[in-house]
Amino acid sequence: MRESTLSPSFSDAEITAAMAWRERMEAKKPDAKEPSEAEWIAFTEWLEVNPRHRLAYDIVDFTCAETEQHATALESALHDSDALPPQRAPWWALPSLQSRRFAAVMGIVVIGVAAAALNWTTGLGPAANTPAAAMVQTTNIGERRDVQLTDKTSVVLNSGTRIAVAYDQAFRKVTLENGEAFFDVVPDASRPFVVDLGHAQVRVVGTAFNILRHKNSVTVTVTRGAVKVLPTAGKSADAGFGEDLAPGDQLIYADGQATPVRRKVDVANVTAWREGRLVFESAALSQVVEDLNRYYPEKAINCDGSACGISFTGVLKLDGQEAVLRRLQEFVPVVVVAQSDGVILRSKPLN
Amino acid sequence: MHGAVVAGLSPNHGSCKVRIVQTSTRDLLLSAYLGLRAELLRFLTARLGQPSTAEDVYQELFLRLQVARLPQEIANPRAFLFKLAFNLANDASRDRRRRDLREQAWADTAIAHVGSEAVLDQPAADEALEAKQSLGILSSAINTLPPRCREVFKLHRLRGMTVRDAAAVLGITPKAVEKQMTAALKHLAAALDRRRLQ
């Protein structure tokens, strides 16, 4: 049966990843350990992340299998073949260390006992040198996207956000590299959900929360369930260390700040971005401007002197940048002045 | 045979007795097979694309387990079953591609096109058929690789040199070897894929 659509042309990165996975899972090199169950699951997840991964893997596997099968014939057919004998048997042609008969019957290489046991007891998934098991999701400035992870956990990515998802047997791990995301985590007590935030991590079982990682600070807001925020360095998981958050709690971690700031907030306001709105309550205009700049790539917005301190309460609909600025002018006494590198908000002169 | 050793004290004699409980590797694998159904089907579907094909391979795996010569000891039956499923899936997917290439090659050779009409020509000559199957496609694709890329491919892929050795022979960095390998594979994969989908 033929694929119904034409195969896409693949990027170098896709081909490289498929080659790395194949080499790892085939484990035919003399010193290779057989993959652990966690690695098989990671491989499954990599294949599932994007249908292109399966197609890339499929054609890479076929190409490699065919070249392996016809290696001698292919070499002799090379135009500039200098007919040197091979220095040693290719690694994929070496006999397996154990039962060759069995390998012939089943077409497999028998698992090394010690190696498999070792992989099994660590149970923490692929070793550091296995190919990127992480799936990366990104949004552009101004883009918002819903993502569903393999365990049905949903993540809403706000503008300019990048996450990397790496699930294994022990943990469901997501790294929020930059931006803002809302997580609604499916409960699984045996596999905690961990969000890595660089200098802190958030650990939950099943709950919903919002995280903003912007410049050098991290803001965690809980809408449902319980969340634990731990500093990554030092005695992270020790009892009494870290912050427990309940619904309505917000924790702001800033780089270089000894203790995080903790407060109660209206969670609906914090997560209104999911519906394309920003809600401000007595926010300084400098903060409003900083938030707006996360959504619009076209022109940088700045505020000037006294305008920065103006307090703003209201809801801004996140449509076009110009429309937002026009509406903002109706709420606060500022004028928008165009500049070469963006726009600046200045206090309106009093007449 | 795989045996579990159970040591216990005999109440009558007070001496230490060792009893051997026989559990065959096959039983061990068969019970793991049933317990791992969901995970294996998920993996096979991810690898093969079609849930129905995945189901076929899962069934096939059961048949193979009945008759296969098994090693005496399997440290991790679950990982072992994944590997078996992986190998069967690879066979299924490679067979399908080979069959596609063969059918396509036969159709190309045996049927001449007159205008828009396909007319049955004479039976395909073996060489003509072969040229249109993987070996022929790969060999001409390799010969159109840029020289440096072809050298890297020859040493690493056809002669099985390690990346490091190939780099040393050619006087380039291991990183460069990997880059060339990616380029070569991309080129060959495209040649095979294009052929199949024509």
pLDDT confidence of residue B176: 92
Residue of A nearest to B90 (CA): A61
Q: What is the pLDDT of residue A36?
A: 92
**Residue A183 confidence (pLDDT):** 95
* pLDDT: which is higher, A242 or B8: A242
Say what the pLDDT of residue A101 is: 33
Domain ranges of chain B: 26-99, 133-197
Predicted pLDDT of residue B87:
94
pLDDT digits (tens, 9 = 90+) for B81-130: 999 999 999 999 999 888 888 877 777 665 555 555 555 555 455 555 66
Q: What's the length of chain A?
A: 351
* Contact assignment for A102 to B68 by CB distance below 8 Å: yes
| Helix (H) or strand (E) run with residue B2 in it | strand B2-9
Distance (Å) of CA A120 to CA A43, A56, A112, A162: 16, 29, 12, 32
pTM of the model as a whole: 0.47
Which residues in chain B are closer than 8 Å to A15, comparing Cβ atoms? 182, 185-186, 189
Please tell me the predicted confidence (pLDDT) of residue A60: 94
- Predicted-complex ipTM score: 0.80
Task: Indicate the domain borders of chain A.
Answer: 12-122, 135-269, 276-347
What tokens appear for B38 in the block?
A: 């969901």
Q: What distance, in Å, lies between the first and last C-alpha atoms of chain A?
A: 78
Rg (CA), chain A: 27
Q: Which CATH architecture has domain A276-347?
A: 3-Layer(bab) Sandwich (3.55)
Q: Is B133-197 a CATH 1.10.10.10 domain?
A: yes
pLDDT reported for residue A93: 43
Yes or no, beta carbons of B138 and A63 under 8 Å apart: yes
Q: Give contacts of B 3-62 with A, CB under 8 A.
A: 39, 42-43, 46-47, 49
Just give the CATH number of A135-269.
Answer: 2.60.120.1440
Q: Which residues of B touch A108 (CB under 8 A)?
A: 83-84, 87
Q: Do A66 and B134 touch (CB under 8 A)?
A: yes
pLDDT of A137: 87
CA distances from B130 to B127, B161, B198 (A): 5, 28, 17
Q: Which residue of A has its CA nearest to B101?
A: A2
What confidence score (pLDDT) does residue B115 get? 55
pLDDT (tens place) for every residue of chain A, 351 residues total: 444 334 567 888 889 899 999 999 998 877 788 999 999 999 998 898 888 899 999 999 999 999 988 888 888 888 654 433 334 444 444 433 333 333 322 222 222 222 222 222 222 223 333 333 568 888 888 888 888 888 889 999 999 899 999 888 778 889 998 899 999 998 887 788 888 887 778 888 778 999 999 888 889 999 988 888 876 654 444 334 578 888 999 998 877 777 788 999 989 889 999 988 898 888 899 999 999 999 887 788 989 888 888 988 888 888 888 889 988 888 888 988 888 888 999 988 765
